[in-house]
Amino acid sequence: MKIRKIVGEWYIYILMIVIWVIASLLTPYFRQMSVFMTIIVFSLPLALVALGQNLVILSGRIDLSVGSILGLSTVIASVTMKNNLLIGVSLPLLLGAGIGFINGIAVSKLRIDSFIMTFGMMAVCQGIGLLIRDYPGGYIPPGYINFLLKETKHIALTPLFILIIVLLVGEFVLKRTNFGRAIYAIGNDDVIAYRSGINVTLIRTTVFAISGFTAAIAGLFLSAVMASGDATVGALYPLDSITAVVMGGTILSGGRGDYKGTIGAVLILTSLARIFNLIGINIWYTYIAKGLLLLIIVAIRMFGVKQEREAVL
Amino acid sequence: MGEILRVDNISKSFPGVQALSKINTFFSEGEICALVGENGAGKSTLVYILMGAIRPDKGKVFVKGNEVDITGVHKAKGYGIGAVFQDPSLINHMSVAENIFLGEQGKFRNNGILSYSKIFKAAEQILNDLKVEIDVRQLAVLLSPAQRKLIEFAKMMRDDPKVIILDEITAALDYESVDKLFEIIRSKRDEGKSVIFISHRLKEVFEIADTALVLKEGKMVQKLEVKDITEEGLVNLMMGRKLSEVFPKKISVGAKENKVTYSIRNLTIKGKLENINLDIAQGEIVALAGLRGHGQSELLKAVFGQVPKNSGKIFINNKEVIVSNPVKAKMKNIAFISNRREDELCFTHSIRRNIALSSLSKRQKGGFIMQGKEKQEVSDISVKMNIIAPSMTTEVNNLSGGNKQKVVFSKWLLTLPDLLLCDEPAEGLDMGAKSEVYHILRRLANEGKSILLVLSDMIEILNLPDRVVVLREGKIVKEFSIIGSEESEILEKEILKASVGVT
């Protein structure tokens, strides 16, 4: 019984280890530290976007605008950083949080469906990003890149640290703060939350603002990786982040789930691309693998839920 | 009259529970049999077996002397058994007529195309027979809860069943609709149908039933003629406890200092409440009575700030307070326990999370939850409330109705309310759990809280509160003090008369 509970909670990490072990048996290249670091570097932006997405989904809504906020953030950084690093960092963050705030107000106050609202916002941000920079480019200061991606003994420590901190902060906020509890309650049913004296509008708006903010951080990091700004770089992030959140055990309708599962799913998703690349399988197969993995995991979980239900009856 | 349905030695067990053991009984033509017993006594299990929704472990079912194997709901219909279940079964965005003939639309075709005029006509015919006046073209979503039940009833009557099973059909109905429904049920009985009737309201059992089948912990206690037993006697059979023990003893009103703490002045909600003035003293339990839907629930919601009011003020100790939403209500120490438990509990969350939800802000440091304090307070209150569960991390889903309601109480009590608003606090609970809720309320009153209830069960109205306020058409029409139970019959009559507007 206890083992079942532990497996239920950590299945995504068990799966991750299984995949890693199989991969390292298949190809010796996977056993190198540099591969692990690449996975971390590519996982970090998705993990950040997925943190915001995770909060939004837990609260029972969805955010499709994360990808173009991320793209816009890299563009703004690539334009402003050459003059002033401080502005180059803070402007994208403010903008991301601001856009998220507008999403949140529209969803909570005006009661626009979050799918529609963030879908529209996605197009708007994409357009603005392309107006500013219709082709990847711009200038990112080497010092900034070096700070984020500097390798000591082939290990880029900063992304790893940031990833760990993000994981801890995400889990802590969800499990140990009033804000986190309120998110779960709202995602379960906002009428209950409202009647329990929770300020539903405030929490919803904050959640969307955080989602915009984390997408913008992801953009700042990616701009260092690319050493440029690209308005379309975030195209796959909305669906990838939703995939990671759902794969990690959060229910799409809200109220149930956590962040550590999401991080595990992010690591698996980014590993797959690396592994297929190293083994020499056509890269398009990763899409098929991602899709199938998501479906299989959700199907297994629903099977478990169904068995529980029948036991009760 | 002849026997129609017989069950022989029916047993059914679920993991860990013997839901039914060796039930032997029969139902006759022209008989209305009330199935009574506490929650978990096996009433629903028996109904589900008769309807083929679950299969018995042992035993046989006979219809008109022939052994039958009921393997599904459609089979039960074939054998002439129909039921209205507790759970709603109408499809919201279909018309009443389509709902009534759901699954049988094929019969109403013109050259292969569904003919709405035919289906409407047939539905009207059915409703006419039942003397129900509802537009069959209306969408089900627009129906009131009472109308929904009547349509579900009509849907069952479509197949003209010989055995009619009604599981808690009256719970959602107001008195007027109940009377109407009873009239229909009686006429069906006189046509020779057999009716199996389940209700938690004993009054109704005595009003309509000919016989009562008493179940207790899955066993059959007795089947008896209703005219041979009193209410008290029936309750005793169901629970082996006396009615006087169900309700807590009141401390005599005079012994307490009756300080007015909460006052409602000139409260109006257009079309729902008109000029309500009400004082609730410290340590007093006030019940709002009257026919359902005459503004009682609205009043509670308005005091809690859950619905906007057109006018009206609320005073605490003669000082005006603004309560425009639940957040502010909570700050003024007002708590509101709704009659819909799905509006109170996050069913898939743990007991601790649910209990902690309303009082999070009382145990925080800079937004962080004080875990130790939370665990302590939750476990203290759960002991005080006698919540029976494996642990505080158990999902609320897995609790019985009574324990769920105790979780709701715990949740609100941790906000340390001075005024507790409660809409039908014991509705849908079994006798044992009801009794516990009554005692909790009385204890809270004795601790000095003011309590405002909405009640509709007459036994509760006559025994639980200190004072009863009758609402009709959104207005307070009469007030009664409830001191002892000596004149309860006269009082009951008075309350009923005030409710329906007879002078």
What number is the ipTM of this complex?
Answer: 0.81
B222-B225-B227-B229 Cα dihedral, nearest 10 degrees: -10
- Chain A and chain B share a number of CB contacts under 8 A equal to 70
Residue B168 structure tokens? 């808690």
Rounded distance, CA B492 to CA B503, Å?
A: 14
Characterize the bridge pairing of strands B211-216 and B219-225: antiparallel
Nearest-CA distance from B327 to chain A in Å?
A: 4
Inter-residue contact B222 to B35 (CB < 8 Å): no
B307 CB near a chain A CB, below 8 Å? Answer: no
Task: Sort A154 into a burial class: Cβ within 10 Å, 0-12 / 13-18 / 19+.
Answer: exposed
Q: Do B367 and A178 touch (CB under 8 A)?
A: yes
| pLDDT attached to residue A312 | 41
Q: B173-180, long-range: CB within 8 Å, 24+ apart, which pairs?
A: B173/B145, B173/B146, B173/B149, B173/B292, B174/B146, B174/B291, B174/B292, B174/B293, B175/B291, B175/B292, B175/B499, B175/B500, B176/B291, B177/B146, B177/B149, B177/B150, B178/B204, B180/B131, B180/B132, B180/B150
| CA Rg value for chain B | 24
B338 touches chain A (CB under 8 A): yes
Answer whether B346 sits within 8 Å of A255, measured CB to CB: yes
Measured in degrees and rounded to the nearest 5, phi and psi for residue B263 equal: -130, 135
A103 domain residue, yes or no: yes
Tell me, yes or no, if B390 comes closer than 8 A to chain A by beta carbon.
no
Q: Is A255 on the interface with B (CB under 8 A)?
A: yes
B43 touches chain A (CB under 8 A): no
Q: Which chain A residue's Cα is nearest to B347?
A: A188
Q: Do B411 and A256 touch (CB under 8 A)?
A: no
CA-to-CA dists, residue A30 to A2, A35, B44, B229, angstroms: 33, 6, 60, 82
- Answer yes or no: is A66 within a domain: yes
Of A176, A182, A198, the CB nearest to B368: A176
Count of residues in chain A: 313
CA of A270 to nearest chain B CA: how many angstroms apart?
Answer: 32
Distance in Å, alpha carbon of A298 to nearest chain B alpha carbon: 18
Residues in chain A with pLDDT values less than 70 = 1, 304-313
Write the DSSP string, B239-276: HSS-HHHHSPPPPPGGGS---EEEEEEEEEETTTEEEE
Interface check for A1 against chain B (CB to CB < 8 A): the answer is no
> What 3-state DSSP class applies to B427?
coil
Instruction: Answer for the pair B323, B301: CB distance below 8 angstroms, yes or no.
Output: no
Task: With CB atoms and an 8 Å threshold, state whether A184 touches B371.
Answer: no
Which tokens sit at B430?
């079994």
Across the interface, which of B336, B344, B356 has its CB nearest the CB of A192? Answer: B344
Q: How far apart are CA B475 and CA B407, in angstroms?
A: 33
Asked if A283 reaches chain B (Cβ–Cβ under 8 Å), the answer is: no
Say yes or no for a CB contact (<8 Å) between B357 and A255: no
- For residue A177, the chain B residues in CB contact (below 8 A) are 367-369
Counting every residue written for chain B, the total comes to 503
Alpha helices in chain A (DSSP H): 2-26, 33-58, 66-80, 85-108, 114-132, 142-149, 157-176, 178-188, 190-195, 200-226, 237-247, 260-279, 285-312
Looking at the complex, report in whole angstroms how far the Cα of residue B335 sits from the nearest Cα belonging to chain A.
9
Task: Count CB neighbours of B240 within 10 A.
Answer: 9
Q: Which chain B residues are closer than 8 Å to A184 by Cβ?
A: 346, 349, 353
Report the run of H or E that residue B189 belongs to, with start and end: helix B175-190
| Torsion angle of C-alpha atoms A204, A207, A212, A213, degrees rounded to 10 | 140
Is residue A137 included in any domain, yes or no?
Answer: yes
pLDDT at A139 (0 to 100)? 92
Residue A280, both tokens: 């020499």
Cβ of A188 and B349 within 8 Å? Answer: yes
- Nearest Cβ partner for B358 among A177, A196, A312: A196
Q: Is residue A135 part of a domain?
A: yes
Which residues does chain A have within 8 Å of residue B361's beta carbon, measured at their own beta carbons? Answer: 178
B361: nearest CB among A178, A185, A313: A178
Q: How far is A203 from chain B (nearest CA, A)?
A: 13
CA dist A176 and A188 (Å) reads 18
Please report whether residue A11 resides in a domain. Answer: no
Find tokens 């507007």 and name the residue: B501
> What tokens were used for B427?
């509705």
Domains, in order of start, for chain B: 3-90+143-240 (3.40.50.300), 242-333+418-503 (3.40.50.300), 344-416 (no CATH)
Nearest CA in chain A to B335: A196
Question: Strands B17-28 and B66-68, how do they pair?
Answer: unpaired
For an interface test with A, which of B300, B331, B346 has the most A Cβ atoms less than 10 Å from its Cβ? B346
Q: Distance between CA atoms of B48 and B66, rounded to whole angstroms?
A: 20
B304, closest residue in chain A (CA to CA):
A195
**Bridge-partner residues for B27, per DSSP?**
B5
Residue B390's identity, in one-letter code, is P
In a domain, A241, yes or no: yes
Per-residue pLDDT of chain B (503 residues; tens, 9 = 90+): 688 899 999 998 876 567 888 989 999 999 999 998 876 678 888 988 998 888 888 899 999 888 888 888 888 888 999 998 877 788 888 889 988 888 887 788 887 788 888 889 999 998 988 888 889 898 888 888 788 888 998 988 888 899 999 988 887 777 778 888 898 899 889 999 999 998 877 788 888 999 999 988 788 888 888 888 888 788 778 765 556 677 887 765 544 556 778 899 999 998 889 899 999 988 889 999 887 778 899 999 999 998 888 898 999 888 898 888 999 998 889 999 988 877 888 888 899 999 999 998 888 888 899 989 999 999 999 988 888 888 898 888 878 777 888 899 999 999 989 999 999 888 777 777 888 889 999 999 988 889 999 998 778 888 889 899 999 888 898 888 887 655 677 787 788 778 777 66
- CB contact under 8 Å between B360 and A181, yes or no, is yes
| pLDDT given at position A310 | 46
> Is B339 near chain A, with CB under 8 Å?
no
- For chain A, the domain total comes to 1
Check A195 against B364: CB less than 8 A apart. Answer: no
Q: Is B371 on the interface with A (CB under 8 A)?
A: yes
Q: How far is B354 from chain A (nearest CA, A)?
A: 9
Q: Do β-strands B285-289 and B467-472 pair in parallel, antiparallel, or remain unpaired?
A: parallel
Scanning A79-138 for CB atoms below 8 A from B yields none
- CA separation, residue B329 to residues B306, B332, B334 (Å): 9, 5, 5
Q: CB distance from B324 to chain A under 8 Å?
A: no
Q: Select from B343, B361, B364 the Cβ nearest to the Cβ of A195.
A: B343
First CA to last CA distance, chain A: 19
Identify which of B338, B369, B371 has the shortest CB distance to residue A195.
B338
Q: Look at residue A277 and tell me if it is in a domain.
A: no
Q: A 184-213 residues with CB below 8 A of B?
A: 184-185, 188-189, 191-199
HEC string of B89-108 equals CCCCCCEHHHHHCCCCHHHC
The answer as to whether A189 is a domain residue is: yes
- Paired with B222 in beta bridges are B214
Instruction: Tell me B15's DSSP state.
Output: T
Q: Which of A192, A311, A313 sits opposite B346 (nearest CB)?
A: A192
Chain B hits for A169, Cβ within 8 Å: none
User: Which residues of A fall within a CB distance of 8 Å from B347?
Assistant: 188
- Is the torsion defined by CA of A144, A150, A156, A158 positive or negative? negative
Contact check, Cβ <8 Å, B367/A177: yes
Question: In chain A, which among 137-176 make CB contacts under 8 A with chain B?
Answer: 176
Chain B nearest-CA distance from A194, in A, is 7
Closest CA to B331 of B353, B359, B355: B359
Q: What is the pLDDT of residue B389?
A: 83
Is B346 near chain A, with CB under 8 Å? yes
Tokens standing for residue B248:
């807590």
* Contact check, Cβ <8 Å, A189/B346: yes
Distance from C-alpha of B423 to C-alpha of B338, rounded to nearest angstrom: 5
Q: Which structural domain range is residue A262 located in?
A: 39-266
Nearest chain A CA: its distance from B425 CA (Å): 16
Does B407 reach chain A within 8 Å, measured CB to CB? no
